[in-house]
């Protein structure tokens, strides 16, 4: 017997990726339900190469009898509907930031902290981390286990799909407008994103950091180690899919490039592709559509006692969102939601 799975936000960039990832990975679903706002009711969305689903209204949906709901419909929608779904006995895996720091909600990257999943039953909600944090903790985990990370300095280069379908459309429309000499309009981003970079993702906080930067700090601590110091600069770049990060770490134990490459290469889900040649590193364009987190440009940081620098890229819609959510669901059905065959 399989599972009844709902995808909330099925018309969005991550929701569509969730549907294709469920089909691709042969998730044991007897039924998949596509949910979005009332304006999308009746819209058809693809589920794998051959099937389509008709979108239903989230507001009218009763989650009783649904085993798992994958939410990717933003923080306010999650705040309104996820607790209701949880109370109706459905386990919610939410992609928004709304529940991530709730002590009663596990925040999970399965390769990193699957053991924390056991706390899910308090609210029947599990949180998926921020896309930039997900790929970062994948790279940090083996380094932390081997060398004990004290401090991380990270700059991100985040694609427009991190802001949903509207973000990708804005990059496309602005690029076209520049070429045909039309006025450039911005609605989703605070400034022009075509042919530009914007050091501002999510809102500004009192200390001058943005909420996106703050999320990287607190989410990394929650998943990896509360003692790690982390400081981030998050930047939106004119790329459709794939986030990149330039990462500097300081460790307690001595670290060298070869040992770092070895522990990272052995870590599930992480691929080290690092040759000092023109094509010996991975870019966002190359990682789009891929499941792995890629690490390149590994080198010693000579400015601190035990320091290492590297470059990390991943498909933000996959490991940063849909794939990670489905891996959480897979871990959940393996450990907690077993059904008789
Ligand atoms: P809809 O298309 O009906 O507005 P993205 O992150 O790519 O912008 O996608 C957001 C997803 O979340 C879309 O599927 C969108 O559905 C859905 N969504 C946003 N607000 C709501 C809401 N209040 N109720 C249900 N679905 C929502």
| CATH number of the domain within which 244 lies | 3.30.360.10
- Tell which atom from ligand 1 comes closest to the C-alpha of 165: 7
What's the pTM? 0.95
Q: Residues 21, 113: one domain?
A: yes
Known catalytic residue at 131: yes
Q: Residue-wise over 284-308: b if at least 16 C-beta within 10 A, else e?
A: beebbebbbbbbbbbeebeeeebbb
Known catalytic residue at 90: no
Which phi and psi angles does 320 have, rounded to 5°?
-75, -10
Q: Residues 198, 49: one domain?
A: no
Q: What pLDDT is recorded for position 341? A: 61
Q: What pLDDT is recorded for position 340? A: 65
Q: Please, what is the end-to-end C-alpha distance for the chain in angstroms?
A: 5
Q: Residues 89, 165: one domain?
A: no
How many A from CA of 165 to the centre of ligand 1? Answer: 10
CA atoms within 13 A on the CB side of 140: 33
Q: What pLDDT is recorded for position 336? A: 81
Q: Residues 107, 178: one domain?
A: no
Question: 341 lies in a domain?
Answer: no
Q: What pLDDT is recorded for position 237? A: 98
Q: Residues 159, 285: one domain?
A: yes
- Tell which atom from ligand 1 comes closest to the C-alpha of 80: 23
Q: What pLDDT is recorded for position 337? A: 86
- Are 308 and 301 in contact, with CB atoms under 8 Å apart? yes
Q: What pLDDT is recorded for position 338? A: 80
Q: Residues 96, 147: one domain?
A: no
Domain holding 174, by residue range, is 132-316
- Tell which atom from ligand 1 comes closest to the C-alpha of 11: 14
Q: How many helices (H) and strands (E) does the chain have?
A: 9, 14
Query: Probe ligand 1: pick from 36, 130, 202, max atoms within 8 Å of CB?
Result: 36
How many A from CA of 76 to the centre of ligand 1? Answer: 11
Q: Residues 156, 82: one domain?
A: no
Segments of the chain with pLDDT less than 70? 340-341
Catalytic residue among 90, 243, 287, 312: 243
The number of distinct structural domains making up the chain is 2
Q: Which residues line ligand 1 (CB under 6 A)?
A: 9-13, 15, 36-37, 39-40, 58, 73-74, 77, 164-166
């Amino acid at each position: 017997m399989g599972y009844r799975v709902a995808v909330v936000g099925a018309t969005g960039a991550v929701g569509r990726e969730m549907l294709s990832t469920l089909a691709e990975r042969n998730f044991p679903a007897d039924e998949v339900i596509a949910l979005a706002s009332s304006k999308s009711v009746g819209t058809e969305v693809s589920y794998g190469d051959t099937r389509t689903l008709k979108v239903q209204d989230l507001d009218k949906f009763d989650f009783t009898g649904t085993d798992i709901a994958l939410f990717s419909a933003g923080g306010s929608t999650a705040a309104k509907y996820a607790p209701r779904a949880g109370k109706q006995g459905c386990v919610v895996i939410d992609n928004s930031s709304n529940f991530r720091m709730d002590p009663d909600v596990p925040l999970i990257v399965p390769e990193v902290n699957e053991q924390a999943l056991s706390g899910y039953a308090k609210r029947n909600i599990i949180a998926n981390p921020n896309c930039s944090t997900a790929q970062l903790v994948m790279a940090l985990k083996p380094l932390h286990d081997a060398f004990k990370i004290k401090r991380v300095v990270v700059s991100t280069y985040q694609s427009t799909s991190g802001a949903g379908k509207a973000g990708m459309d804005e990059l496309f429309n602005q690029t076209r407008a520049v070429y045909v000499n039309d006025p450039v309009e911005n609605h989703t981003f605070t400034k022009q994103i075509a042919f530009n970079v914007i050091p501002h993702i999510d809102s500004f906080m009192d200390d001058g950091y943005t909420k996106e930067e703050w999320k990287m700090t607190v989410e990394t601590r929650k998943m990896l180690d509360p003692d790690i110091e982390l400081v981030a600069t998050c930047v939106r770049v004119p790329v459709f899919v794939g986030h990149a990060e330039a990462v500097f770490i300081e460790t307690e134990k001595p670290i060298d490039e070869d040992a770092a490459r070895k522990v990272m290469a052995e870590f599930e889900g992480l691929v080290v592709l690092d040759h000092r040649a023109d094509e010996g590193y991975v870019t966002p364009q190359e990682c789009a559509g891929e499941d792995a987190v890629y690490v390149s440009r590994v080198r010693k940081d000579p400015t601190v006692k035990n320091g290492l620098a590297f470059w990390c890229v991943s498909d933000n819609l996959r490991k940063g969102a849909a794939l990670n959510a489905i891996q959480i669901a897979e871990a959940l059905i393996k450990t907690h939601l077993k059904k008789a065959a």
